[in-house]
Amino acid sequence: MTELERALVQLGRELDLPPEPDLRSRVRERIERRRPRYRRALVPALAFLLVALGIAMAVPDARSAILRFFHIGAATIERVETLPPARERPLTAGLGPALSLREAEARSGVSLVLNGPRPQRFYAQPGLIATLLQYRGRRVLLAELQGDQTGIVKKLADPDTRVEPAPIGSFGLWLEGGRHVLIWEAGAGEVRQIEPRLAGNVLIWAEGGRTFRLEGGLTKGQMLELGQQITR
């Protein structure tokens, strides 16, 4: 150690330095001051929203307004006072001629999801693939739509049609009773619309970026049973 270094060390020992400040508490205070105010109010605001929604759902008129419109994946369900013109038609009406699975997947651009035995005939439109299944002695139309293209499928339900949640997929709905109209529409960029028809009991659910739709003369429990078999 040189004479200069020894002198500096001795000088440091003789200096009366203040104690080291507690920087941790100051840093925490600055972080709290900079935190946006909306974050502090987020929890009570969400709690208030849930309470308000619960109150609204308990009031018949408010519940009716809330349940007037649904959008699940590629399916839109809307309540209307007057149904558009439609008539009874076969389940596959407007979906085009029967195709092989390979032809239907090529035309629709959708790979069919169906566990278990597969039928021989399929139907397709851009973004949509469908087939008829036999389940518990009933014919059921299975339709699958890819992605989230608003307006590909619209269901217009009159006030007598019951719409309720269904425990399937990421979100499901069950439609039963009354008279409701099904309108198949083409995907993005298409203006063609298939003729509307009156529809029966329907289970709709979204799962894995796909919208599934089952229609036929089954109960809610039977439809859920079939839907879970299809995607298990």
pLDDT digits (tens, 9 = 90+) for 93-130: 888 999 999 999 999 999 999 998 889 999 998 889 99
Backbone φ/ψ region at 136: left (φ over 0), alpha (ψ -120 to 50), beta: left
Kindly tell me if the per-residue pLDDT of 194 is higher than 80.
Answer: no
Q: Which of 184, 215, 186 is nearest to 202 (CA)?
A: 215
Q: Which of 135, 146, 149 is nearest to 104 (CA)?
A: 146
Q: What is the structure's pLDDT at 92?
A: 92
Kindly tell me if the per-residue pLDDT of 2 is higher than 60.
Answer: no
Distance CA 53, CA 20 (A): 54
Please report which residue ranges of 35-156 form alpha helices under DSSP H.
37-58, 60-66, 101-108
pLDDT per residue as tens digits for the range 4-55: 455 545 545 554 555 555 656 665 666 556 555 544 544 454 454 444 434 4
H or E element: which one contains 226?
Answer: helix 220-231
User: Strand 171-176 vs strand 128-135: parallel, antiparallel, or unpaired?
Assistant: unpaired
Sheet holding 210-216, edge to edge: 122-125, 128-135, 138-146, 210-216, 202-207, 171-176, 162-166
Distance CA 81, CA 99 (A): 38
Distance CA 93, CA 102 (A): 21
Torsion over CA: 100, 101, 102, 108 (sign): positive
Q: What is the structure's pLDDT at 144?
A: 94
3-class state of residue 71 by DSSP? strand
Distance CA 63, CA 41 (A): 27
Q: What is the structure's pLDDT at 58?
A: 52
What single letter denotes the amino acid at residue 102? R
Kindly tell me if the per-residue pLDDT of 82 is higher than 90.
Answer: no
Of residues 197 and 151, the one with the higher pLDDT is 197
Q: Tell me, yes or no, if the pTM score tops 0.85.
A: no
